[in-house]
Amino acid sequence: MKFGYFDDANREYVITSPRTPYPWINYLGTQGFFSLISNTAGGYSFYKDARLRRITRYRYNNVPIDMGGRYFYIKDGETIWNPGWSPVKTELDAYECRHGMGYTIITGKKNDLKAEVTFFVPQNYDGEVQQVVLTNEGSSSKEFSLFSFAEWCLWDAQDDCTNFQRNYSTGRVEVVGSTIYHKTEYRDRRDHFAFYTVNDTIDGYDTDRDAFIGLYNGFHNPEAVMAGKATDSFADGWSPIASHYKKITLAPGESKTLVYILGYVEMPADQKFEADGKTINKVKALKMIEQYDTPEKVAAGMAELKAAWDKLLGILNVETPDDKVNRMVNIWNQYQCMVTFNLSRSASYFESGIGRGMGFRDSNQDVLGFVHQIPDRARERIIDIASTQFPDGGCYHQYQPLTKKGNADIGGDFSDDPLWLILSVSAYIKETGDWTILDEMVPYDNDMSIAQTMLEHLKVSFYHIVNNLGPHGLPLAMRADWNDCINLSCYSDTPGESFQTYTNPKFAAEGGYSKIAESVMVATLFTYTGPNYVAILKHLGKDDEAAKAQAEIDKMKANIMESAFDGDWFLRAYDAEGKKMGSKECEEGKIFIEPQGFAVMSEIGKEEGADIKTLNAIDKYLNTDFGLVLNNPAFTKYYVQYGEISTYPGGYKENAGIFTHNNAWIICAEAYAGRGDKAFEYYSKIAPAFTEETSDIHKTEPYVYGQMIGGKDAGSDIGKPGNHFGQGKNSWLTGTAAWNMVAISQYILGIAADFDGLRIDPSIPAAWDGLSAKREFRGATYDIKVTNPNHVCKGVKAVTVDGNAIEGNVLPAFGDGKTHTVEVTMG
């Protein structure tokens, strides 16, 4: 069942029913000011950091779902309604929500009155603009009132939902004309305030929540709206809000446009107040208000936003025989990658914006998805991340975007972290050809006095693995590897201990983690990532170092074949007692997905057929109708030696859920192995556009990936297998976005930036006649046409550039600003 449709020409998903199976959201903003907005206008705004600069309040885990947002209430006679249906939930005569690139347009119609609200954050602007167009589509005149509504959060989102004894007594506002200013703590220790304004006179306002809503009412029946009149309340402590009240009369056919702005302002400490020392100095705010105080200015802002996205999405454009692939690659997957660049794992409808800042491994992997769109910002981001690394190559696992300092509460010792830096730096160089990033002086632990070049950071990353091997010569698992929930040194039996940070005393003497437990996944990630480091060294003419590094990779491969190939697939790990995890010998969790794809792409044991055996085992044991489960059979007991993974009911999260992130690694591996049909089968099982028809099962947005989909064992705990099988969760902020972008564009469609040019090597369904693509790359445009006359999955027979045949399948970097015609024949 569908709840809308793709409007590809406008790059929008159009939702036609407000009752989506879960709130379907969008993101506004790309620089400092961000908003989350659902299809019923729920959500909230923040500046840069969703925890420390939360501007409006939101209630996670609320009943009913999705409470808190920017709401417009219309009182037309006795009927009260919202253009986005919620929170009043009056049945509308028409409803539509268009989620587009950085904007959302919600239109509702009731009793001949149409309200179209456009929400967006303009480029380089710290505010959300909301344009309300009201049209009387009836044949008689209409008189009604319009109330706006936003609820202020008291800045620190964590404190805001816990510290009520203080927070009920701190709220402060100012009201001047049609602008309501939120200035809690501004006088004392904050140099920022927020405002909510409208470009017209108003007939009243409210700034106190209890006065507007009423203590025993809700967002669905605010007292002031029901009474048809604002109370002009002035918040003093308790819960400050902002609501404008306006009486409107429209003749038949007449329209009225109002522009509201929710803005954020920072002031230099010595310019915070007017001469009286307490009234806000509004110079900056008024300038912001003036920037968008007419519909013409709004239209110009929207046009500028659109032009920015045209540019970002113009860099890679494909035309394949499958519309769903085209809309994922050209629009939504790239869009989601930009959102993960901006937000990492901080704020979504599943991530509260409080707990997690930027992850070392997460943000490095995100780079793979957006580096072609914003290489300069990717460079900056990579340097920020690398700056939190330790001199020995270990890394802080997370940092806060506001401070950019490593987060000491979480600490380090995640075994996979350093490797992702090698991958992101390589991706950046492959895209841009800018080798100077390697010369950049980058601090360790944010301390510039011990800075080293980025190349040195790569070296310590590489050798951090080599220097931390266990008894089988495989990398130590440490606190966890990519799978945060395999915690082989934790042995936690006490509620509340964090599986990621708790140190079991039995390993205290060994430095906090077992020196026995080893991760096969990190081993194969090392053999997959390492060759990039070798290629970099060779390019720099450091042949001795390159040979030394290559020898370590070869040794690791041998160790893996010696101790970690289980006959038909690769083991997952050795636990702290030296026992195999992810083996035929195990009672549960016999096979895991994570090490396999990297092993295949590293060609480990290829000569003995290990690659194909492994891929076939995945198909046999992990493949389901909705994607590949992470492990099989699911754990049905708590295994203290494995940690968090076995705390989840089977089919959820890391315990045999369909973790879409690592599905991509198998898609890449199948494509790499030349099995384009299989690669595409797996791709199309999880790619959001393919889930659209079954949105009633999949539940989350059909335009973006979620972190997981319920696996085949979902529900098995309650004796109803398949209960939530196929149900998506944790949409938007996931490494799945970047990795599936890599899987489809680089491995399946086969257009991949490489150190020495643009490599074309498709691995597609045999049935396809070919594909075409436009790719901007290092200052030139490549107009690529691939034909597949013999209907093979993989194999490039001939390539011509501007009519001339070239050797091999790597297109040179022309850098001449021109368009080059490329013809690729498969066979």
**Which spans of this chain sit near ligand NOJ (rule: CB under 6 A)?**
345, 359, 361-362, 482-485, 654
Instruction: Name the catalytic one among 156, 208, 484, 611.
Output: 484
Please list every residue from 479 through 518 that binds ligand BGC, using CB under 6 A: 484-485, 500
- DSSP structure class, residue 625: T
- Please, are residues 814 and 779 in contact by the beta-carbon 8 Å criterion? yes
Query: Nearest-CA neighbor of 571 among 555, 588, 558, 584?
Result: 584
Q: How far apart are CA 678 and CA 155, in angstroms?
A: 49
Which of residues 125 and 499 has its CB atom nearest to ligand NOJ in the complex? Answer: 499
Least distance to ligand NOJ, CB of residue 360, Å: 9
- The listed partner (ligand NOJ, ligand BGC, none) that binds 57, CB under 5 to 8 Å by sort, is none
The residue among 500 and 583 lying less far from ligand BGC, judged by its C-beta, is 500
- Give how many residues touch ligand BGC by CB under 6 A: 6
Q: What is the amino acid identity at position 267?
A: M
Measured from the CB atom, the residue of 518 and 654 that comes closer to ligand NOJ is: 654
- For the chain, the first-to-last Cα distance in angstroms comes to 39
User: Using an 8 Å Cβ cutoff, are 84 and 108 in contact?
Assistant: yes
- Of 361 and 678, CB closest to ligand NOJ: 361
Shortest CB 251 distance to ligand BGC, Å: 56
Would you say 361 and 374 are in contact if contact means Cβ atoms under 8 Å apart? Answer: no
Determine the residue with CB nearest ligand BGC.
484
Say which residues have a Cβ less than 8 Å from residue 566's Cβ, sequence separation at least 6: 580, 582, 583, 584
Distance, CA of 374 to CA of 712 (rounded, Å): 38
Nearest to 245 by CA among 260, 261, 228: 228
Helix or strand (DSSP H, E) at 526: helix 520-539
Q: Does 575 bind ligand BGC (CB under 6 A)?
A: no
Other beta carbons within 10 angstroms of residue 820's beta carbon come to 17
Residues 628-647 that bind ligand BGC (CB under 6 A): 644
11 binds, among ligand BGC, ligand NOJ, none (CB under 5 to 8 A by kind): none
* Site membership for ligand BGC, residue 761 (CB under 6 A): no
552 interacts with, out of ligand BGC, ligand NOJ, none, CB within 5 to 8 A per kind: none
Q: How many helices (H) and strands (E) does the chain have?
A: 21, 42
Structure tokens at 186: 């501004």
Query: 325 touches which of ligand BGC, ligand NOJ, none (CB within 5 to 8 A by kind)?
Result: none
| Tokens read off for 537 | 């060294």
**Considering CB distances under 5 to 8 angstroms, the limit depending on partner class, which of ligand BGC, ligand NOJ, none binds residue 611?**
none
**Which among ligand BGC, ligand NOJ, none contacts residue 468 (Cβ within 5 to 8 A by kind)?**
none
Distance of CA 63 to the CA centre of its chain: 25
Q: Smaller CB distance to ligand BGC: residue 485 or 799?
A: 485
Q: How far is CA 263 from CA 126, 260, 303, in A?
A: 6, 10, 20
362 binds, among ligand BGC, ligand NOJ, none (CB under 5 to 8 A by kind): ligand NOJ
Nearest distance from C-beta of residue 588 to ligand BGC, angstroms:
18
| Whether residue 484 lies in the annotated active site | yes
| Identity of the amino acid at 455 | L
Q: Which residue, 730, 729, 708, 711, is CA-closest to 721? A: 711
**Minimum CB distance to ligand NOJ smaller for 115 or for 478:** 478
Q: Identify which of residues 366 and 654 has a Cβ nearer to ligand BGC in the complex.
A: 654
Q: Using only the alpha carbons of the chain, give its radius of gyration.
A: 28
Using rule CB under 6 A, residue 653 touches ligand BGC: yes
By CB under 6 A, tell whether 566 contacts ligand BGC: no
Check binding of 351 to ligand BGC (CB under 6 A): no
Looking at the DSSP bridge assignments, the partners of residue 392 are none
Residue 564 interacts with ligand BGC (CB under 6 A)?
no
Shortest Cβ distance from residue 469 to ligand BGC (Å)?
Answer: 25
Torsion of CA 678, 679, 680, 683, to 10 degrees: 120
Stretch 138-157 residues interacting with ligand BGC (CB under 6 A): none
Q: Give contact residues for ligand BGC (rule: CB under 6 A).
A: 484-485, 500, 644, 653-654
What are the catalytic residues?
484
